[in-house]
Amino acid sequence: MEKQSKRYRAAIQVADLQKEHPLKEAVDILHKFPKAKFDETVELSLRLGVDPTVGDQMIRGTTPLPNGSGKKVRVLVFTDNPKAALDAGADHAGLQDMMAKINEGWLDFDVAIATTEAMKTVRTIARVLGPKGLMPNPKSGTVTDDLVNGIKAVKAGRVEFKMDKTCNIGVGIGKRSFTAAQIIENAQAVIDAVGKAKPSSFKGHYIKSAALSASQSPAVRIASAEYSKY
């Protein structure tokens, strides 16, 4: 707690955290904050004005990050042809054997992909994968029979965004070691993707606020002009 308070006190010397800043300025401020001893993840947070109790207003989707996420993504593929999946770049592949391991508590992967046929069986462990955000889903591009491109997209930095029950979305968009230009491009890609996911039936203020932060930094508020068109 003492370290965090020192870091926060140092951060507020850099900029007024109560103000909103243009995206480029927000990224510059983030780069000036004191750094942790590891390469922190940079996160973009968005607060939406939709109603989470309305079915078509549960916002979710995927988008490629132009500069990747900076994270090594471990991919598990549920398939009856594990060799093909492994040859395509998967870290783990299989079906019944993988499901048995998961039921025993094994979860050493970041993204799960399933073929259309395998998905019929994978549904039986939805209660395990679902709460952890690891369940393959057609909307996120993780139920596919094109394993080569599916795995390649995930490994290259395709990220999933999903609104929680309080209408917030948080997406890792890179690392503190990224250049300002790389973070700006990745942030804009996510803002645009979330903006395009706006339900056609929704009327009102869609993206209400946005902010950038690193793993151990305070948030920098982003000016509404950066997302007001949505």
> pLDDT tens across 79-124, in order?
999 999 999 999 999 999 999 999 999 999 999 999 999 999 999 9
Separation of alpha carbons 82 and 63, rounded Å: 26
Q: Within a domain: residue 6?
A: no
Domain boundary among 105, 135, 156: 156
- Domain check: are 59 and 80 in the same one? no
- Domain check: are 151 and 41 in the same one? no
Q: Within a domain: residue 3?
A: no
Separation of alpha carbons 215 and 172, rounded Å: 10
Number of CB atoms found within 10 A of residue 106's CB: 12
Q: Within a domain: residue 1?
A: no
Residue 60 and residue 75 in contact, taking contact as beta carbons nearer than 8 Å: no
Domain boundary among 122, 156, 190: 156
- Domain check: are 174 and 145 in the same one? no
Here the CATH number for the domain that contains residue 55 is 3.30.190.20
Here the CATH number for the domain that contains residue 127 is 3.40.50.790
Q: Within a domain: residue 182?
A: yes
pLDDT in the model for residue 15: 72
- Domain check: are 63 and 163 in the same one? yes
pLDDT in the model for residue 2: 42
Domain hosting residue 136, numbered range: 75-156
Separation of alpha carbons 195 and 189, rounded Å: 10
Number of domains in the chain: 2
- Domain check: are 126 and 168 in the same one? no
Domain boundary among 156, 172, 193: 156
pLDDT in the model for residue 7: 64
Residue 159 and residue 63 in contact, taking contact as beta carbons nearer than 8 Å: yes
Separation of alpha carbons 35 and 214, rounded Å: 9
Q: Would the pTM count as exceeding 0.85?
A: no
pLDDT in the model for residue 1: 38
Report residue 111 as tokens: 């993204």
Cβ-based neighbours of 89, under 8 Å, separated by 6 or more: 75, 148, 151, 152, 155
Cβ-based neighbours of 94, under 8 Å, separated by 6 or more: 78, 79, 82
Q: Within a domain: residue 213?
A: yes
- Domain check: are 113 and 93 in the same one? yes
- Domain check: are 206 and 220 in the same one? yes
- Domain check: are 85 and 152 in the same one? yes
Separation of alpha carbons 172 and 65, rounded Å: 10
Q: Within a domain: residue 9?
A: no
pLDDT in the model for residue 4: 52
Q: Within a domain: residue 7?
A: no
- Domain check: are 65 and 162 in the same one? yes
- Domain check: are 165 and 113 in the same one? no
The list of the chain residues with pLDDT below 50 reads 1-2
- Domain check: are 119 and 166 in the same one? no
- Domain check: are 172 and 58 in the same one? yes
Q: Within a domain: residue 8?
A: no
Separation of alpha carbons 110 and 97, rounded Å: 18
For residue 32, the one-letter residue type is K
